[in-house]
Amino acid sequence: METVLAISAAAWGVLMAISPGLQIRKMLRFRSSREVSIFYFWVLLVGFTLWVAYGLTIDNWFLIVPNAVAFTVCVTTIAVALRFRFGSGGGAFDTAA
């Protein structure tokens, strides 16, 4: 039963990890990150980093995989948001923290 729960939680964690892809899609569609809180994603990024580190410490792949996926998607979300906020897609005054 414990293994089934671990697999289910890890699978759901991966689905949760890729869900910010919807936000990325919206930013790309509207070419703006005005509605995105970049600080929120930085907070999540720290959490994902800590969970990956903890999973590595205890050698628990059920923690490592979903949080590594979440870390990657979170970095991508921040990169896209910053691109539109300060790069070619948005303006420097386009701020929503």
pLDDT at 97 > cutoff 80: no
Domains of the chain plus CATH, in order, are: 2-86 (1.20.1280.290)
Residue 39 to residues 4, 12, 36, 56, Cα–Cα distance (Å): 35, 24, 9, 26
Instruction: Tell me the C-alpha distance between 59 and 62, whole Å.
Output: 9
pLDDT value at residue 95: 47
Report the share of the chain in percent with pLDDT over 90. 79
Residue where the block lists tokens 């590595």: 56
How far is the C-alpha of 47 from the C-alpha of 74, rounded, in Å?
11
Q: Tens digits of per-residue pLDDT, 35-78?
A: 899 999 999 999 999 999 999 999 999 999 999 999 999 999 99
pLDDT band at 2 (very low <50, low <70, confident <90, very high): confident
pLDDT of residue 92: 44
